[in-house]
Amino acid sequence: MVTIRHPAKFSTPILNVLNEVIPDGLVLDPFAGTGRIHMLARPGRSIVGVEIEPEWAGMRPGTIVGDALRLPFGDGTVDCVATSPTYANRMADHHDAKDGSKRLTYRHTLGRPLHTNNSGQLQWGKKYRVFHRAAWAEADRVLGPSGVFVLNISDHIRKGKVIPVAEWHRDTIRGMGWTVCREIPVETDRMGFGANADVRVDFEMVYVFKREDHPHPA
């Protein structure tokens, strides 16, 4: 496996929680990055990923190069969508630092400009929200009637204020006819110093959703 740097891979605590809540069947990660989701494959649970940047998609055989806004799957063909989109934090910066220092961003770890449809260059704002409404509509389309939707997301701090990104995603998906079965805060290894220290909050969230007419916990 060729290893390419990536700024926002699933951490071990997040993977442990995902492993508990993801059902068997066909599981899709439409924002697969380096493909760590494939570590959760087991007999009865097959995993497929979609990632827009070929270098990151190429790190795992089960990841297809594609766009989360136009998933190459039919309606209702997937049992679970489990994913972590970009967080609209400083990792979306795509200009070079004036002082020449290296930044922990999508653009800088990849080492070239991102695909135009890569949400990794969207800061918190209208474009980010329009993009993710479309991405979640696509996830909704490919999920079957008893599908499970698992989302890992995080707030971040900007100019001293917590930006409620996680709550926005939760409420948006709820507004599309999904019920929140579980809200799991996951403490991650986010040190209060180093690159992008200012963007960090203490917890990430994992939300588990089922359709309103199938609201049993996963």
Contact set with ligand SAM (CB under 6 A): 6, 8-10, 31-34, 36, 50-53, 56, 67-69, 84-86, 117-120
Helix (H, G, I), strand (E, B) or coil at 18: helix
Q: Which is nearer to ligand SAM, 6 or 211 (CB)?
A: 6
Residues 6+ apart with CB under 8 A from 76: 141, 142, 143, 144, 145, 147
Four-point Cα dihedral 72, 153, 178, 45, nearest 10: 50
Least Å distance, CB 106 to ligand SAM, is 6
Residue 203 belongs to what H/E stretch? strand 203-211
8 Å CB contact between 4 and 34: yes
Q: Which lies closer to ligand SAM via its Cβ, residue 69 or residue 214?
A: 69
DSSP string, 131-143: HHHHHHHHHHHHE
Q: How far apart are the C-alpha atoms of 58 and 4, rounded to whole Å?
A: 9
Shortest distance, CB of residue 60 to ligand SAM, whole angstroms? 9
Placement of tokens 């297809």 in the chain: 64
Least distance in angstroms from the C-beta of 169 to ligand SAM: 13
When the beta carbons of 51 and 140 are compared against ligand SAM, the nearer one is 51
Is 146 or 188 the residue whose CB approaches ligand SAM more closely? 188
DSSP 8-state secondary structure symbol assigned to residue 42 = B
Q: Give me the least distance between CB of 107 and ligand SAM, in Å please.
A: 10
Instruction: Name the residue number minimizing CB distance to ligand SAM.
Output: 33
Which is nearer to ligand SAM, 84 or 211 (by Cβ)?
A: 84
CB-nearer residue toward ligand SAM: 121 or 181:
121
What is the closest distance, in whole angstroms, from the C-beta atom of residue 145 to ligand SAM in the complex? 25
Question: What whole-number distance in Å separates Cα of residue 106 and Cα of residue 121?
Answer: 7
DSSP state of 105: S
> Closest separation between CB of residue 41 and ligand SAM, Å?
14
